[in-house]
Amino acid sequence: MTRTGLCIGDEAPDFTLRDQFGQDVRLSDFRGRKAVALMFFPFAFTGVCTGEMSGVRDRLDEFLSFDTEVLALSCDPVYALRHFAETEGLNFPLLSDFWPHGAVASAYEVFDHVKGAPRRSSYVVDRDGRLRWSVHNANPDGRDLDEHLRELHAAVS
């Protein structure tokens, strides 16, 4: 049996990825300041992913605060993520793990080598840069955003 994901309490692997605007976003820049929800999603413009990201958009004021941040990661290229964000009105960071293809998803042990995309997985990274919580959904199963919000806010309590 293959283990999926890293262990709670591990230091979160640091990364720098470009967002939908081509700006670098570095996970370690949030250390000491914010807890971060990392939401890996397989593909932009697909039914479940669009629904999930739209759900985050609709509840963005709950995900983003002085103490919390949300970062969505896929292996789609920056330009596809930009179009996805514009089409769906997504005004939070969508990060491209396009090249080297899936390197960050692989570091988090959620890259599906057969599909060439991340699995539908989430982590909460606390302010100390440690993995506080994780969940790994089957690709057809959407995430429970209430659960994500509870765990994200618990990481700063």
> What amino acid positions are annotated as catalytic residues?
49
CA–CA dist 91, 5 (Å, integer): 27
What is each CA distance from 23 to 52, 95, 127, 147, in whole angstroms? 23, 9, 22, 29
Q: For residues 120 and 46, is the Cβ–Cβ distance under 8 A?
A: no
CA–CA dist 31, 68 (Å, integer): 11
- What's 30's DSSP letter? G
